[in-house]
Structure 1
């Protein structure tokens, strides 16, 4: 189940086609004035600066980064009312990246981080965690969806809290004066709140995995979601890593998450692989094969499921033959889908804004376990190419350059728009904080490797998480 769809409902390589081909697309959106990236400019730094401007513009005077921003007009962009823990985390790590790359100075870094930490300190919480939706302008808990008035049942999400904690840890690492305040914020964030211990007598009810979250308006721990996050190669593993690192989750939890579903279970492809025992846990080391490449699938087949976490946790370095290998093959699968299987001439598919409005999941169905997984539908999402930078840098830059050249997907004010319909030429009017946050982190990693990874290379990450990844032996 897609987490954004679930939460919204429940709580309320060069991939260039010829220019003539692009001009033939009906309704192609023109580029904003001064929007094109000049052929002679070094794009990564330029792209980062524009992306940073977008997230700075999306951050309210209260200090919280909004969920999205409409940049279709020539005047001031229009900010959404709502924000989430993930959006706030994106704002924090983008500010740190901007300072680390010399885009802003140390005084601005401290001022911005202090403002956001002060705002986070004022947010209503439960069980040590943050709710899924707040008003970005005053920090009040949302109980009605701003765009429709539909009721919102306050919810605690494991994965969204993980991204806020990630941002807070990066902020504390970058600005030592904030460390005591961040430590106080995080001292009650016990990840066992979301954990269902493994029960060998009933592994369905007790899978040793994390719940999607809880509605805390019921006695005790509240009402849990009906599902667990069972797929390993998805973005919720950041919460797993955080809990293992701080000791609130047992290391064996890592081995109870599925590489693929078990043989005979309904899934996109009957997996190959073998049973192995690691740290006393029997693990199905399954894999899929896509275009001759063995890899570990995600749940829906999207790019950010696989590649958001290694922006922070150095999985390819700590597990080069397992995580590093599957990440690279996953990127090649996305490229091949866009260029060869579907023949779009462009690639990079991940959940994003629908170019005509709304929100949808995009991906490569064959790369996900879900039988009715995410499909590409001809919609290319620029943040997916940025996530591919560590694995296929030339192809990623060429693809992004083509999206700019052929569709005007980039503008100098706020960077790449959220999505492009390659069939119609329609470019989204929006930028989304989550997607821009991934772009900023990916560019920071490319321009200054390790800049945002420092908190995740020490302490419990080094002593507890790294040994697990060193033992990982995907059957690929």
Structure 2
């Protein structure tokens, strides 16, 4: 029995009260179609979908980036992104596959979105979309408000998530495949790929940035002037790998790119600004030398993310079954990474809760949260408002300092627990139930975005990205991994599975296991 079926069976057997619903009401819920069981997960999915119904502008089919906790149209943020659009497409499929909405409604919603996306202004030579649009009109934005100008930018990772939504929609609703594929077929991820370093860049601008240090290479024969970011996505275990995966699957990026981003940096003093000294061995795959490095954390050896957050590690496997295709790599690392987050929240920081990932800041704005030691970056993302970090030593290169004796006001986000549900189902559901029980953290659109657990301050907003991760996780749990099946069949599996099968990470620890 798989972990997800074990989770569903366990929830059905418990008869626990749902967040915001008495147990008697849960018992009376009708069984949804397509085999999705009644109960806790279904309740969470229905409420989370309610937030998307409020986020989307019906005339355009574009979701807003965020909305207030009361779900009023007046509280929408007034802008959207390619990632948000992709999240709405896959969330609509989840709503259909779990019986929340009917097939006709789902098709109509996605058709409206695809019609609008086909008309959005984009960078024609690459087929890529800009970072911000007006969800009410579809116009490209150069400001997110009167005092917040933005330079139109074309992001590799944001376009990766839009392309994921398009691919999923095409496979989930064949009657819309032509429309979705027509948009996606023009998106060339090779335009982000730098063959000199075998990595992809963060993105590019198509207007002169007046910065002579920015590269202007033409990676895919665009024949137009673009100004690339000065950085590459050099860390492997981060969410931009979705763009790499899609580029490899489409033949736009060579297969050896899979081994281009680093698992950790090599253990030399050249990299002593990073978290701590890595351990591991060098291996060669497809002619690429790879340091199979890990970082130590609480008796485990883990391939880290960049900042130590949950969505860096676990957003991609919502759609790509990495632990199935990489039995000696991802299947070991993903459960260890989740275990690290759990132990940080419950034992090291003693918050009583866990799940750290970029989210709305309960004190206002948006912030990265994570577990410092699970990231490669020296400062890392921290788990509390006070930014309590751990300065570990780097053997032979620099000294560290004493570990913190206490942490401050830790901030947990529910979407992190949903991402972890596949790998630690009982722990994830317990954590979510505790958050709903102990804080005013559950509203008409499901869980609010974040909670500061010592002060009890709650960010009473819903973010399309974070709600989209929750919907995808619930769609997999309730609909037999449908979200993965829609994305990972065909070219994605044919091109990526052989790459994942050949690699063995250095990950290990007392909790190491292969997720089924």
| Pair in the same fold by TM > 0.5 | yes
TM-score calculated relative to the size of structure 2 = 0.82
The CA distance in 1 between the partners of 2:313 and 2:22, in whole Å, is 31
Alpha-carbon deviations, 1:356-405, whole Å to 9, x = none?
A: 21000000000000001000000011100000100011110110000010
1:64 aligns with 2:48: no
Aligned-pair CA distance for 1:76: 5.6
Other-structure match for 1:104? 101
Other-structure match for 1:249? 253
Aligned-pair CA distance for 1:462: 1.9
The CA distance in 1 between the partners of 2:21 and 2:425, in whole Å, is 17
Alpha-carbon deviations, 1:227-261, whole Å to 9, x = none?
A: 00001100000000000001000000011110011
Task: Name segments (4+ residues, structure 1) moved above 6 Å.
Answer: none
Aligned CA-pair RMSD: 1.5
The CA distance in 1 between the partners of 2:239 and 2:372, in whole Å, is 17
1:54 aligns with 2:51: yes
Alpha-carbon deviations, 1:161-182, whole Å to 9, x = none?
A: 0000000111111211211112
1:408 aligns with 2:398: no
Other-structure match for 1:19? none
Aligned-pair CA distance for 1:207: 1.2
The CA distance in 2 between the partners of 1:39 and 1:398, in whole Å, is 16
Aligned-pair CA distance for 1:35: 6.4
For the 8 Å contact 1:214–1:221, the answer to whether it is kept is no
The CA distance in 2 between the partners of 1:428 and 1:289, in whole Å, is 33
For the 8 Å contact 1:36–1:405, the answer to whether it is kept is no
Other-structure match for 1:139? 138
For the 8 Å contact 1:245–1:459, the answer to whether it is kept is no
1:220 aligns with 2:224: yes
Determine which of 147, 151, 159 is the counterpart of 2:149: 151
Q: How does 1:67-146 map to 2 (within 5 A)?
A: 67-72=65-70, 78-126=75-123, 127-146=126-145
Aligned-pair CA distance for 1:295: 1.1
For the 8 Å contact 1:302–1:374, the answer to whether it is kept is yes
Q: How does 1:277-296 map to 2 (within 5 A)?
A: 277-296=284-303
TM-score calculated relative to the size of structure 1 = 0.88
The CA distance in 2 between the partners of 1:417 and 1:116, in whole Å, is 25
Aligned residue-pair number: 432
Other-structure match for 2:159? 161
The CA distance in 2 between the partners of 1:221 and 1:99, in whole Å, is 43
Aligned-pair CA distance for 1:473: 0.7
Other-structure match for 1:177? 175
Which structure ranks higher in relative contact order (CA pairs < 8 Å, sequence separation ≥ 6)? 1
Other-structure match for 1:398? 430
For the 8 Å contact 2:67–2:73, the answer to whether it is kept is no
Flag structure 2 segments of 5+ consecutive residues without an equivalent. 1-17, 27-38, 209-222, 385-409, 508-516
The CA distance in 1 between the partners of 2:350 and 2:185, in whole Å, is 50
Alpha-carbon deviations, 1:52-98, whole Å to 9, x = none?
A: 1111210112110110001158x666211000000000100000011
1:350 is paired with a residue whose SS is: coil
The CA distance in 2 between the partners of 1:38 and 1:369, in whole Å, is 44
Flag structure 1 segments of 5+ consecutive residues without an equivalent. 1-33, 198-205
For the 8 Å contact 1:36–1:408, the answer to whether it is kept is no
The CA distance in 2 between the partners of 1:92 and 1:357, in whole Å, is 28
2:199 is paired with a residue whose SS is: strand
